[in-house]
Homo-oligomer: A and B are copies of this chain.
């Protein structure tokens, strides 16, 4: 149910259409919680039927701009403060590591090199984003500061995994 509440959160910032929200999701939270447009459009319909969001405007090709209702804003806050945090992690690359013994040393070393590359790249992307936010490129609203914190998490987690891959690669002394 995370997408649901994230949509309410985004709409609490400013009204937006399904498309806007899809891009917003992708650019700010894609690294930690992907959500495709089919899910977003579907969720918006449900949220509207429950009157947690309302239609604010109509645009060109059936574009529907939603805004959060009072009930909706109350619901996000309830989620943030009262609903237990879900700490579930699903990291396929780590799952794979439990079976590294089935790979040849060479395959493994190459695999770990590619993994390190990948994580370094993602970390760098979010590092740039974080630096841009620190420079004030996105203003200095409370919302921007929150996204800055999310970006920091992306940087730290991906850095940690990059370092892990390098550490593991050294263990193969290849």
Contact = CB atoms under 8 A, between A and B. Distances in A.
B167 A102 contact: no
Residue in A99, A143, A163 with the greatest tally of chain B CB atoms within 10 Å: A99
Identical subunits present: 2
Contacts of A86: 92-93
Given A80-B102, A102-B80, A157-B160, A85 B95 contact: no
Given A80-B103, A86-B92, A102-B77, A97 B33 contact: no
A110 B102 CA distance: 44
A91 B33 contact: yes
Contacts of A31: 89
Q: Which 5 A-B pairs have the closest CB atoms?
A: A101-B142, A9-B99, A160-B160, A32-B94, A86-B92
